[in-house]
Structure 1
Amino acid sequence: MDTNTLSEMGSSSIGNRLIERKLQRGVLSVARLKEELQVVQDQLDALSDETQDLEIRSLVAETPLSLHELRDAQRHVYAMQKQKEHLVNAITETLARQDELLDKLGR
């Protein structure tokens, strides 16, 4: 065998191992992000329900305090929605990187 061929095989094998490690880390990362997304979704559902209740109370009570509580709850819902969007984007980006790595591994 030619020494270049042996050298190429060695670097290819090392490259594949590195890609496999990155893929494993990506799988763990996606799993962690999905768990976090589920927690955020549960919190968002609870906050949304609470906000709906506060909206009804605000309409009935018509007090500055009830309006303040409603606005505060709406801000929390908005923040949780942003967190959810961030997690969904992170999952999408990680999965795209995983696809790229799989393409490299398949070559």
Structure 2
Amino acid sequence: MIERRLRQTSARLRTLREELRVIDDQLAHLADDAGDLQIRAMVADSPGAGADYRRAQEHADAMSAHREHVLATIAELERRQDRLLDAMPER
């Protein structure tokens, strides 16, 4: 039973770590886009440019929050994995 839980936890950790790599890549692009739109909003004197920046920044903020959630989940799974390893009988 412990070994099955370890396999499940390990598989979930692999999936989440891959998801984190994708999130980091997407977050970098979203942050770059938001930065570009912020500069454009400062240079342009139109309210539409500011709205574009705010939307882009909201997307970047949402992705950042999702990243933090994934990191917290990974940390919890690593703790669970450690507890399961400690609970395994020695052979």
1:36 aligns to what? 19
Q: C-alpha offsets along residues 82-103 of structure 1, whole Å, 9 cap, x if unaligned?
A: 1000100010000000000011
> Residue 62 of structure 1: SS of its match in structure 2?
coil
The count of aligned residue pairs is 90
Runs of 4 or more off by more than 2 Å in structure 1?
A: none
Q: C-alpha offsets along residues 49-86 of structure 1, whole Å, 9 cap, x if unaligned?
A: 00110011001002100000000001001100010001
Displacement after TM superposition at 1:106 (Å): 4.3
- 5 Å matches for 1:1-107? 18-106=1-89
Amino acid at match of 1:64: P
The percentage of counterpart residues that share the same residue type is 41
Q: CA RMSD in A?
A: 0.9
Amino acid at match of 1:50: D
TM-score between both structures, scaled by the size of structure 2: 0.95
TM-score between both structures, scaled by the size of structure 1: 0.81
Higher-Rg structure is 1
